[in-house]
A and B are shown apart, each in its own frame.
Chain A
Amino acid sequence: MKDPATPPTSVDGEPILFPRGVHDIRPRAQQFLEDESLQSAVREATTLKDQARRDVLKEAFGDDVDQIRSIAGEIKRHTIDHLDHYIETWIERAEAAGTRVHLASDHQEANRIVVEIAREKNAKLCVKSKSMVTEETHLLPQLEAAGVETVETDLGEFIIQIDDDAPSHIVMPMIHKDRKSVARAFVRELGAEYTEEPEQLTRIAREHLREKYRRADLGISGGNFLVAESGSLVLCTNEGNGRFCTSAPPTHIAVVGIEKLVPAFKDLWFLLHLLARSATGQPLTCYTQVLTGPRRPDDLDGPEEMHVVLVDAGRTRILADPQFRESLGCIRCGACLNACPVYRKATGHAYGSVYSGPIGAVITPLLQGLDRNPTLPEASSLCGACYEACPVNIDLPRMLVALRRKTRKRRGTTGERMALWGMRMAFSSDRYYRIAATIHRYLLRCFSGGSDRLRSAPGPLSGWTRDRDLILPASRSFRKRWRDRGGAVR
């Protein structure tokens, strides 16, 4: 394994997740578009899951799906609108159940809290189940630096860790990798015999990780939900590694974003009906764990200590802006990624964030800064597939446009500004419009050399003619024809 302090890099030499400086989605996307096996893997997986989502939701809820999505959205929005109240309630109940609650304002604080607990426990080996927040905070290098060997235990995350890679999808982290790369990594890093059989590869990982569970003195997890009424932490997993990490080691730390709250169990159950169906097409994930404090005095097993680190790290900033607040309702099902035409083509790593796809294009700029991610909100045809797929009814296209507005105010290229201004002028009266249309048609005809289509356009239109022709406007506009045939006007 490579030095964990150096993050894995992408095709542009920058860290895959959270590149330095200003990130542009295009150069990576263009390279990934040329990788045929990557394209077909991502296309297959996303379209399959997208279809599964539609089918199972329809099967379970018939024509009520949209109404149920909208209620789920109301539940999350209500919770987020009163987040202080529900966090306070949750803390009180969680502490009553014996959970130790820590609050982290930023990445550094979150990492420091976890490292301190690890030190205090004299931990040497940590088994970790999936947590998106710890990718945001870069927790692993910090733990390793503190002398705590940390092993990802979700199969996909484990493979990514030993192959010095990064997740490229919220739910299917190694959607971009094929079995050959897994086989090679297992030979190189685990000394395994070469096999490409997924079944065999899974066995190898299983045996390797079982030894880690046995020796681990610390388990780290994320959290899918926090239930205010009981102070519980809820984990949704499929493989069983999450259960191991929260059952076998004597100390369990969950690192969770503050937006994960729900008021009561009835709300939790409601959302759970949508989470796995939207993510993978399952009615529920194989394991839904409701953890309420560490093991109790008479319990047969379980961790002696349970810690939950509630992480803010930019979330209150999102909370403060009403037009983006609802993005915090995301339950990380990945349905918007699967439905998104741009995600399918650009693929996860192009986004430069652990959150990719439409939700990533919204929350990455909000969490990491729009200045560093100006192209993410632009990289959308606003087709609305994400909004339709979202189980909690988040209006992502609206937020993408709102982010574009912010970018426009701050930067926006001169050419673009001029084009918008020119169009605005042209559209301000029908006379200007007719003149502008004539000039436009004339210019395009000049470029096309008299042909009715343009095969190669200059300037901003070159993106258009890269892969397609531009069919020129008709010589007679509709309004001219209408006049000519004496149609009624006013």
Chain B
Amino acid sequence: MRILLFIPCLADQFAPKAAEATALLLEHLGCEVIFPEGQTCCGQAHRNSGDEEAARAMVLRMARIFEGDEWIVTPSGSCAAMITRHAVELFGSESVVPAQVQSLARRTRELVQFIEEELGLAPDEIVGDPGNAASVVAWHPSCHLRELNRFDASGRFLESIPGLEVKRLRQEEQCCGFGGTFASKFGAISGALAEDRCAALEESDAPVLLCNDTGCTINIEGRLSRRGTPVEIQHVAEWFCQALGLQSREQDTR
């Protein structure tokens, strides 16, 4: 199966290893992975800031770049939600949404969602045991999984990986405080939320946190760094690649 890889700007810049793991994992699962090089951003930042016009332009651009009938797979839950839910809303009612935007929205999937819902694979059909990957992890469900109806589902998917212990964090339903420009504009509130997440993480004693949103990752990583808490954050794809021996666990040099 041929798929188009959608790597959001934050992942491209801040989490290239997670993006690469996404591609490697998809290839391992038998997909032919194509990266449309013209891609830049889905328009989420502009949409969330109320700049609808700019967001629409970016969505139209995305739709052009990703034209075709292949699935579009992305490692980011929030960008998947932006495309599948909000891109269409930006154009008003169903009838006036350009066909290519409708197609874009219809074909876009977050990675775990794609594996479970479209490839129809259960975790034990992918890995037999954690291998070189961590055997105890904590899980951070990104808020935007709500919009994909995946808030519980992705956690459950991880929990059914053979040999993996998934620690659910206290108040896991509470946002980590990222929210794009919100984090800078409302630094004190956002920082307090990041602290809650990090405190819960420390409490869980898990050496690794799995998360599938670069926004959450840089937020939590930044707070962990400030606190001096040595927990490694990985994308779900990175964990799988390590378990399958496709990627090493070593930290990347930046």
Q: A contacts B directly in the complex (CB < 8 Å)?
A: yes
- Verify if A266 is at the interface (C-beta below 8 Å from B): no
Could you tell me if A405 and B50 are in contact, using CB atoms closer than 8 angstroms? yes
- Verify if B57 is at the interface (C-beta below 8 Å from A): yes
| A87 CB to nearest B CB, Å | 28
Query: Do most interface residues of chain A lie in helix, strand or loop, or is the interface mixed?
Result: helix
- Verify if A173 is at the interface (C-beta below 8 Å from B): no
A376-387, CB under 8 A of B: which get 1 and which 0? 001111111101
- Verify if B7 is at the interface (C-beta below 8 Å from A): yes
Q: Which residue of B lies closest to A475 (CB)?
A: B254
- Chain A: interface size category: 35 or more
Could you tell me if B174 and A467 are in contact, using CB atoms closer than 8 angstroms? no
Could you tell me if B193 and A345 are in contact, using CB atoms closer than 8 angstroms? yes
Could you tell me if B46 and A424 are in contact, using CB atoms closer than 8 angstroms? yes
Interface-lining segment among B98-106, B110-118, B157-165, B184-192: B184-192
- Verify if A187 is at the interface (C-beta below 8 Å from B): no
Could you tell me if A33 and B23 are in contact, using CB atoms closer than 8 angstroms? no
How far, in angstroms, from A461 to B9 measured CA to CA in the complex? 18
- Verify if B1 is at the interface (C-beta below 8 Å from A): no
How far, in angstroms, from A47 to B17 measured CA to CA in the complex? 36
Partner of A427, one of B48, B58, B193, B252: B58
Could you tell me if B189 and A430 are in contact, using CB atoms closer than 8 angstroms? no
- Verify if A238 is at the interface (C-beta below 8 Å from B): no
A40-51, CB under 8 A of B: which get 1 and which 0? 000000010010
How far, in angstroms, from A474 to B41 measured CA to CA in the complex? 18
Q: Given the interface contacts A479-B37, A489-B35, does A383 sit within 8 Å of B179 by beta carbon?
A: yes
B17: chain A residues at CB < 8 Å are: 474
Query: Do most interface residues of chain B lie in helix, strand or loop, or is the interface mixed?
Result: helix
Could you tell me if A346 and B16 are in contact, using CB atoms closer than 8 angstroms? no
Could you tell me if A470 and B222 are in contact, using CB atoms closer than 8 angstroms? yes
Could you tell me if A384 and B147 are in contact, using CB atoms closer than 8 angstroms? yes
B18-43, CB under 8 A of A: which get 1 and which 0? 01100100000000111111111101
Could you tell me if B48 and A488 are in contact, using CB atoms closer than 8 angstroms? no
Q: Given the interface contacts A381-B175, A424-B54, does A342 sit within 8 Å of B37 by beta carbon?
A: no
- Verify if B146 is at the interface (C-beta below 8 Å from A): yes
- Verify if A6 is at the interface (C-beta below 8 Å from B): no
- Verify if A269 is at the interface (C-beta below 8 Å from B): no
How far, in angstroms, from A489 to B38 measured CA to CA in the complex? 9
Partner of B16, one of A29, A33, A474: A474
A417-441, CB under 8 A of B: which get 1 and which 0? 0001001101111100100010011
- Verify if B167 is at the interface (C-beta below 8 Å from A): no
Could you tell me if B49 and A464 are in contact, using CB atoms closer than 8 angstroms? no
How far, in angstroms, from A473 to B146 measured CA to CA in the complex? 27
- Verify if B248 is at the interface (C-beta below 8 Å from A): no
Could you tell me if A469 and B35 are in contact, using CB atoms closer than 8 angstroms? no
How far, in angstroms, from A389 to B192 measured CA to CA in the complex? 22
Q: Which residue of A lies closest to B14 (CB)?
A: A473
| A218 CB to nearest B CB, Å | 42
Interface size on B, residues (CB 8 A): 73
Partner of B177, one of A25, A381, A433, A461: A381
Could you tell me if B222 and A379 are in contact, using CB atoms closer than 8 angstroms? no
How far, in angstroms, from A405 to B58 measured CA to CA in the complex? 17
A345: chain B residues at CB < 8 Å are: 189, 192-193
How far, in angstroms, from A473 to B222 measured CA to CA in the complex? 12
A448-490, CB under 8 A of B: which get 1 and which 0? 0000110100001111101111111111111111100001111
Q: Given the interface contacts A385-B173, A406-B50, A408-B50, does A475 sit within 8 Å of B189 by beta carbon?
A: no
Q: Given the interface contacts A453-B225, A468-B225, does A487 sit within 8 Å of B33 by beta carbon?
A: yes
| B242 CB to nearest A CB, Å | 17
| A418 CB to nearest B CB, Å | 12
| B188 CB to nearest A CB, Å | 5
Could you tell me if A430 and B143 are in contact, using CB atoms closer than 8 angstroms? no
How far, in angstroms, from A426 to B13 measured CA to CA in the complex? 14
A428: chain B residues at CB < 8 Å are: 40, 57, 61
A398: chain B residues at CB < 8 Å are: 89
Could you tell me if B187 and A423 are in contact, using CB atoms closer than 8 angstroms? no
How far, in angstroms, from A452 to B171 measured CA to CA in the complex? 30
Could you tell me if B175 and A473 are in contact, using CB atoms closer than 8 angstroms? no
5 further A-B contacts with Cβ under 8 Å, apart from A33-B188, A383-B179, A460-B184, are A403-B50, A463-B188, A464-B184, A474-B14, A482-B20
Chain B residues near A (Cβ < 8 Å): 7, 9, 11-17, 19-20, 23, 32-41, 43, 45-52, 54, 57-58, 61, 89, 143-144, 146-147, 171, 173-175, 177-195, 218-219, 221-223, 225-226, 252-254
8 contacts between A and B (CB under 8 A): A383-B143, A385-B175, A423-B41, A453-B225, A463-B183, A467-B190, A477-B12, A489-B34
Chain A residues near B (Cβ < 8 Å): 25-26, 29-30, 33, 47, 50, 339, 341-342, 344-346, 378-385, 387-388, 398, 401-409, 416, 420, 423-424, 426-430, 433, 437, 440-441, 452-453, 455, 460-464, 466-482, 487-490
